[in-house]
Amino acid sequence: MKWRSLSESGAYSDMRPLREIFAERKEAIAKYVPQDVQAVHIRAVAELKAMGLATRSLKVGDKSPSFELPDHNGKLVSSSNLLSAGRLVLMFIRGRWCPFCVAQMEAMNFIAPEIAAAKALLVAVSPQTEKQAFFMRDQHKLTFPILVDAQNQIARRFGLVYHVSEEQQGLYRSTFVNLPHVNGDPSWELPIPAIFILDRDGTILFASTDEDYTNRPEPLEILSTLERLQR
């Protein structure tokens, strides 16, 4: 799926799988980012995997917690209202500062009409402030809402939240990723990336979680799951 930012291309035309585009980005990181910096991020992911965070998150068959969160415009959005309209594709992301999140959001935006045709809604959730969520949606021409999960309250109930290590905090600060400012929260906590498909009663029908922020499910996998559920 196409993920390159609209500012780079102006339109979606690259139909490669998202994993291939991610591999291209990883190659660029390996080439241009200093080895010691790469090593910090690799250690951080390894530590999260050792904690088994993804294995402890909500799974298929679990009931999703209900929620009411403001969107990018400050409008309150409830899970009950969303689910009254159909199944829900709930995407947890880190924020607009994360290039892999941006890639995924743009790719999912590309198939948003097909998701709607499969009688489902697409919603993103992140801990970033309302202003950051608005900027992200506006900059990348997203057609679905971004909900503001202050202090990761909902992500925590899904079992997705972790504390950014001191070592990684230092790197983020050096690259102007000021999470306390971006999230309006001094905790330095983030969700691991995740996508859930919820049935209208809140039952989780599909779950994809990964401690490695450079791994995300293919948009077409989400779409094919929705289409299969319709049969």
Q: What is the pLDDT along the chain (231 residues), one digit of tens a residue?
A: 333 333 333 444 556 788 888 888 899 999 998 999 999 999 999 999 999 999 999 999 999 999 999 999 999 999 999 999 999 999 999 999 999 999 999 999 999 999 999 999 999 999 999 999 999 999 999 999 999 999 999 999 999 999 999 999 999 998 889 999 999 999 999 999 999 999 999 999 999 999 999 999 999 999 999 999 987
Which pLDDT score is estimated for 47? Answer: 94
For 125-151, how does the pLDDT look when each residue is reduced to its tens digit (9 = 90+)?
999 999 999 999 999 999 999 999 999
Which pLDDT score is estimated for 7? Answer: 39
Which pLDDT score is estimated for 9? Answer: 37
Q: How far apart are CA 137 and CA 143, in angstroms?
A: 8
Which pLDDT score is estimated for 231? Answer: 78
Which pLDDT score is estimated for 14? Answer: 54
Structure tokens at 47: 């530590």
Q: How far apart are CA 155 and CA 194, in angstroms?
A: 9
Burial degree of 191 (CB within 10 A; 0-12, 13-18, 19+): buried
> Could you give the 3-state DSSP secondary structure of residue 88?
strand
120-126 and 87-92 beta bridge pairing: parallel
Q: What is the chain's length?
A: 231
Structure tokens at 95: 């924020």
Q: How far apart are CA 74 and CA 225, in angstroms?
A: 31
Q: How far apart are CA 188 and CA 165, in angstroms?
A: 8
Which pLDDT score is estimated for 42? Answer: 93
Q: How far apart are CA 207 and CA 198, in angstroms?
A: 9
Could you please state the CATH topology (level 3) that the domain comprising 15-230 is classified under: Glutaredoxin (3.40.30)
Q: How far apart are CA 19 and CA 33, in angstroms?
A: 20
Which pLDDT score is estimated for 2? Answer: 32
Q: How far apart are CA 217 and CA 20, in angstroms?
A: 12
Please state the φ and ψ torsions of residue 180, each to the nearest 5 degrees: -55, -35
